[in-house]
Every structure is written in C-alpha cells, then in structure tokens.
Chains A and B, each alone.
Chain A
Amino acid sequence: AQSVTQPDIHITVSEGASLELRCNYSYGATPYLFWYVQSPGQGLQLLLKYFSGDTLVQGIKGFEAEFKRSQSSFNLRKPSVHWSDAAEYFCAVGLNQAGTALIFGKGTTLSVSS
C-alpha cells in the first residue's frame, strides 16, 4: 500500500535561513507527488507537484522540490525563509491515475524565528 512519511513533526528556522522539509513515500511505481501548505485556520493550498520529467520542480512562493527515485524522496526546499512561511506543510502521493485519492503525510509544522 502507498504511504507517505514526513519524519519531522516540527522545525524551527531563522528568518532568512534555508529550509528543507523531508518527505519519503512508498509506492511500487512512479507516483504523482505534491506539497501543500496550510496556514492556521485555512484550507490546504498546493505549492507544487511532480508528475514526470525534470526531477526538480518549481512552485509558488519560491519553493522547489526534488524527486529522487533512488531514495523515494520528494524534499521541499526554499533558499531563504520569510516569517510568512510559518505554516504546516503536507507531502502527498497519488496514483498515476485520474480520479483517485491522495495519501497525505502527517505534516511538518514550520516555525520561523526572527
């Protein structure tokens, strides 16, 4: 069965520092991969997605993620964190088939210190 692991429950980063959030997945084939962000009291917003092709994908708000098949990973990165990036981040995996549900990780809460 497919699964998603986000090893870090909570991360604190200084404003202006770089960020990397980890995501590992379990799936027999190449999955569709997503990162979502949830601000307090809000729904989930899509940051970026990977379906195929270039393994480094760019998203909104200056985020990027790299798909590494050998490591079954899809880590999210940002070179310089802003205070407004404080939120909860979810990695998700989907089957490469339309109309199927996504499986979400437990999420990583990002705090930004000044």
Chain B
Amino acid sequence: DAGVIQSPRHEVTEMGQEVTLRCKPISGHNSLFWYRQTMMRGLELLIYFNNNVPIDDSGMPEDRFSAKMPNASFSTLKIQPSEPRDSAVYFCASSNLAGSYEQYFGPGTRLTVT
C-alpha cells in the first residue's frame, strides 16, 4: 500500500493567495482527518470526515479555511486568502471505521506564507 499521499510536499506562497492542499487516503479507509502542526500550538485537528461527510469542523480556524471530500479517495484543504500565520505543516491522516481506530498519517505539506 502506498500509504496516505499528500501534495504538494512544500508550498511557498505570498499573502493573499489561494492555497490548495491535497490528500489521498489509504484505499479502503473511510475516515479522513486534517491536522495542522506548529511549534506554538502543537498538533491541532482541523476537520474530519467519515464516509466523505464532514463530522467536526470546529477546529477550522476561520472562514478562510475550507475542506472538501468529493469522493472516498480524495480530499482538499483550501485557504483563501492565505496569511503568514497560516504557515505550518499540514497533515492528512486516514483510518478505517471498521478497524482498530489508529490513524495513518501522510508525510505532510509544509506551507510557508510570506
């Protein structure tokens, strides 16, 4: 299995630009999680989906952030407009609702907003 795939691995953009992060979960997994990691705040849950349906988006910091999961094999996290304080590593993780609940993480996308 290829594991969770995230793209891009690195993104550098200017303040005000739109940023789209992409995630492909492990095949057969039906829960998908987006996390953000910073030195100051550690690992924070942004949003998660079960069977492509958003379950909890209370961690999404502002309306500038949005996430979609149009099908079981793809999800996006969009920031529009981006701000320097959005600079962080964004992780996607997936798990199996019928499994043993552990989450498998992708390699992350390092976002830098200048």
Q: Does B74 make an interface contact (CB < 8 A)?
A: no
Q: Does A90 make an interface contact (CB < 8 A)?
A: yes
B107–A43 touching, CB < 8 Å: yes
Which B residues are CB-close (under 8 A) to A60?
Answer: none
Range class of the B interface residue count: 20 to 34
Range class of the A interface residue count: 20 to 34
A44–B42 touching, CB < 8 Å: no
Q: Does A34 make an interface contact (CB < 8 A)?
A: yes
Majority-rule SS of A interface residues: strand
Bound CA–CA A67/B39 (angstroms):
28
A98-B97, A99-B55, A101-B56 as given contacts; A43 in contact with B105, CB under 8 Å: yes
Residues of B participating in the A interface, judged by any CB pair closer than 8 Å: 4, 30-31, 33, 42-43, 45, 48, 50, 55-56, 91, 93, 95, 97-108
Residues of A participating in the B interface, judged by any CB pair closer than 8 Å: 32, 34, 36, 42-46, 49, 51, 90, 94, 98-99, 101-107
